[in-house]
Amino acid sequence: MNWQNLLTKGNNYFDQQNWIKAELYYKSAFSQLEGRWDSGEEHESLLMAWICACHNLGTLFETQGDHERAIGYLLQAYQEAHRTSQNDQASYSLRTLAFNALKTSLHAIMAFTQKYPTCDHCLEQLDRLERTLNFEAHTLH
């Protein structure tokens, strides 16, 4: 089954609140996309689908109350978008798309940390992310 169908099935099971099957399909799509990406297939649609899979898994685990796993997937999406946006070997269109995906991913992270401000792991990860962004902004100037 291709990643598109896996994500669609995951969404259907999520809507039915069948968390176990939703997780199975989302993780299958995530793994398939990650495998294609890691093998050098760096296409815009793969990046966005992989980020979508991360966000879906983040939402799924948040819904189940597993905040550490939820923020972990949101951070993975952000980190890959960041890495790709800075990759000189990637095409201009892919880098631009990745740069734009940073905003979406960061927004999801910020919304999550506002909902769960007592999540120590979340705050540590956000602090680390903020330091990285500040360093890079400082380096650009």
DSSP structural state of residue 91: -
Q: Which residue has the higher pLDDT, 3 or 119?
A: 3
Indicate if the pLDDT at residue 19 is higher than 50.
yes
**Nearest CA among 19, 10, 18, 89 for reference residue 49:** 10
Is 92 a member of any domain?
yes
**Nearest CA among 26, 16, 74 for reference residue 53:** 26
Is 4 a member of any domain?
no
Report percent pLDDT > 70 for the chain: 84
Indicate if the pLDDT at residue 137 is higher than 60.
no
Domain enclosing residue 114, as ranges:
44-141
Is 91 a member of any domain?
yes
pLDDT of residue 31: 94
**What domain count does the chain have?**
1
Is 26 a member of any domain?
no
Is 55 a member of any domain?
yes
Please tell me the least confidently modeled range out of 22-26, 44-48, 85-89, 130-134. Answer: 130-134
Contact (Cβ atoms closer than 8 angstroms) between residue 41 and residue 33: no
pLDDT of residue 62: 96
Is 125 a member of any domain?
yes
Is 39 a member of any domain?
no
Is 19 a member of any domain?
no
